[in-house]
Amino acid sequence: MNFPKDFVWGVAASSYQIEGAAREDGRGECTWTRFSHTPGKVKDGDTGDVACDHYHRYPEDIALMRDLGVHSYRFSVSWPRILPTGRGMVNEAGLDFYSRVVDALLAEGIQPAATLYHWDFPQALEDQGGWTNPDSVKWFVDYADVVTRALGDRVKFWVDFNEPWCSSMLGYLFGQHAPGVQDAVKAYRAAHHLMLAHGAVVPVIRQNSPGAQVGITLNPVPQLPATSSPEDIRLAWQADGFANRWFFDPVFKGSYPMDMVKLLGETLDGLDLDAVQSAAVPTDFLGINYYMRWLIEAIPGRPGEWGSTLPEGAELTAMGWEVYPQGLTDMLVRVHRETSVPAIYVTECGAAYPEAAAPVNGIYEDPKRVAFLKGYLNGAALAIQQGVPLKGFYVWSLLDNFEWAHGYEKRFGIVHVDFATQKRTLKRSALYFKDVIRNGAA
């Protein structure tokens, strides 16, 4: 399948997952530092203290990107590296780091694509309620102002938030992510403030970075009924409200889905739901992170409750996520149909598989990841054929890295990292992606 000539091929990563240097050059504590150092929260007690040591090794990593021929690198900025206590004093050393990364990318002809928030929230502000505090909107905008003033002359592609569903629901409802809270009221407060912050920050970024493309990255997950029973169909729509519409509707319609507002009832007490109108600020693009679909089924004996299941014989990644590329095509088509956004980028897509035993002739063989990427790239190409304005595709991830609560066990990289030595070794999938970029075809 061929891609348009000007299609943007990229790789993606995020600050906490790769940088390490958790206590260097004045970086403040983030919620993930606190969370990962709390026993029992992360597999094997892993932390992002060192991670891929990208903070020191970024020249080597950018050289890898250049050798693969990638056009763009999506990275994120660590808020507490810039503002150690979340607000107030600016840590110039933190800004300098990102400035050096941006310059090094540009020197190789690689376009920087910066995400302002990919989950490493300043602990000092979490101590004041984090995203559940209405002041978080202003905290975030002030931080974003500092970053976009410093880098906005050279970075021309900005994502404000990465996956607000994860920040709010994994962080404050399920507690699987930092800050590890389990409280529905807090989760919906956090989600609300994330939406308000999106609306408030877009004009600030535009002002500081003239001519830049500005957007948000959401992680829609298709919610399909596991059977044709009316109850499964009804619950699948509810799951869609929870996972997708609760974020898509604010961003594109300026309102919350009424069916969900009714269902959530007093969980939303005290929130000014109408204020979410401000979230429907025009953006230049929408970023989609795509990994999986859910098949929704009623839970027997627990009326109104649903769970997700897998189809018989499903092929799974190491995360237990089903390999189903058609889901990407369908979701891109749906998002294009239901929103007026002029451009869409897949800002993340990729897969974890177990580490291959040892490299052969200097390459780790990862045939499943190659097949995964081929499948999803073809899924993306099919969406373009159906009229979706898909402009680029970022593979998650360049390097094996800190996979949140799974620690280092789950490897998403197209480049292998030996975490004992920090040695980088190509996997076959990196060479496959290099060919895709060179040929403009998957």
Complex with ligand GCO: residue 319 or 343, whichever CB lies closer: 319
The reply to whether 348 belongs to the active site is yes
Direct distance between the N- and C-terminal alpha carbons of the chain, in angstroms, rounded to an integer: 5
Q: Pick the catalytic residue: 19, 29, 126, 163?
A: 163
Q: Contact with ligand GCO (CB under 6 A): which of 348, 395, 413, 415?
A: 348
Which residue from 254, 243, 246 is spatially nearest to 283, judged by alpha carbons?
Answer: 254
Which residue from 159, 179, 162 is spatially nearest to 170, judged by alpha carbons?
Answer: 179
Site pattern 200..239 for ligand GCO (x: CB under 6 A): -------------------x--------------------
Q: Contact with ligand GCO (CB under 6 A): which of 3, 9, 11, 14?
A: 14
The reply to whether 163 belongs to the active site is yes
Which residues, numbered 160-179, are part of the site for ligand GCO (CB under 6 A)?
162-163
Distance CA 321, CA 331 (A): 16
Q: Is 376 in the site for ligand GCO (CB under 6 A)?
A: no
User: Could you give the C-alpha distances from 262 to 241, 259, 265, 266, 271, in angstroms and in order?
Assistant: 11, 5, 5, 9, 14
Q: Pick the catalytic residue: 19, 29, 126, 348?
A: 348
Q: Contact with ligand GCO (CB under 6 A): which of 403, 416, 424, 442?
A: 403
In the complex, minimum distance from the CB of residue 246 to ligand GCO, in angstroms, rounded to a whole number: 17
DSSP conformation class of 269: T
What are the residues whose beta carbons fall under 8 Å from the beta carbon of 107, sequence distance 6 or more? none
Q: Which two tokens stand for residue 233?
A: 């169909």
Which residue from 404, 388, 283, 374 is spatially nearest to 331, judged by alpha carbons?
Answer: 388
Distance CA 312, CA 395 (A): 28
In the complex, minimum distance from the CB of residue 191 to ligand GCO, in angstroms, rounded to a whole number: 16
Which residues, numbered 259-298, are part of the site for ligand GCO (CB under 6 A)?
289, 291
In the complex, minimum distance from the CB of residue 369 to ligand GCO, in angstroms, rounded to a whole number: 13
- Interstrand relation of 390-396 and 213-218 (parallel, antiparallel or unpaired): unpaired
Complex with ligand GCO: residue 17 or 148, whichever CB lies closer: 17
116: enclosing H helix or E strand:
strand 111-117
Q: Which two tokens stand for residue 349?
A: 């897509």
Complex with ligand GCO: residue 133 or 308, whichever CB lies closer: 308
Q: Active-site positions?
A: 163, 348
Return residues touching ligand GCO (CB under 6 A): 14, 17, 162-163, 219, 289, 291, 348, 396, 403, 412
